[in-house]
Amino acid sequence: MNKVQQYEEKAEILKALAHPIRLCIVEGLINNECNVTRMRECLDLPQSTVSQHLSILKSRGIIRGRRKGTEICYTVTSELVKELMKVLMNK
Amino acid sequence: MNKVQQYEEKAEILKALAHPIRLCIVEGLINNECNVTRMRECLDLPQSTVSQHLSILKSRGIIRGRRKGTEICYTVTSELVKELMKVLMNK
DNA sequence: CTTTAAAATCGTAATATACTGATAAGACGA
DNA sequence: TCGTCTTATCAGTATATTACGATTTTAAAG
């Protein structure tokens, strides 16, 4: 693979994580999956804001949502991100 | 420490890394320290651009520069960043 | 002191990201 | 179908980041 391209891809992943709200969301999701409304209460932010952060994470393949009735439950699917979070938050 | 504050700090580190040029610089510096001119040639970018990326990395405590005569040699000082890079680039 | 090479900083235009209210879409139960 | 709950998307503004030429600073060398 092209080196520049690789840097761009990795930078995209980091950019997706490089926001306090998204870090909070991702860390929360690594432990227990959660729907938007629950996150919203926890973060005290407008619903649209949470939803947009989720869509950024989703578009980068970091999380995935599965519908459960009327809610959508999200989980972290990227192993790379799980490992990065382990390193990032435990030091 | 405050949780929100912790997320903000970590996000700052990620933001500093979340750029293809800076990833390239940091990875290069982990292996062999290097001055701005050498990097500039390697990256094919204007001197001011490289210098500004370096100053972003420096302001976040990721790298440090030591003068060697007329040049300044940079090295990666953050152990956290070294570990993050290991995880990030080897998967 | 003056010159020169290297690196930092400034100014600014272009681009990208963030936030939020309003609205739309999807799923479910009455 | 209608109303409600949940989530997504849109539109607009505000804010931040990026890139790069021009200028300044720094320090070594003469």
Cβ-Cβ contacts under 8 Å between A and B: the total is 77
Q: Tell me which architecture the domain covering A3-83 has in CATH.
A: Orthogonal Bundle (1.10)
Where do the domains of chain A lie? 3-83
User: What residues of chain A lie within 8 A of the CB of B43, using their CB?
Assistant: none
**pTM of the full predicted structure?**
0.91
B4-51: pLDDT as tens digits: 889 999 999 999 999 999 999 999 999 887 888 778 776 889 999 999
Total count of residues recorded for chain A: 91
For the record, the structure tokens of B41 come out as 């040639």
Nearby residues of B29 by Cβ (< 8 Å), 6 or more positions away: B63, B74, B75, B76
Name the stretches of chain A with pLDDT < 50. none
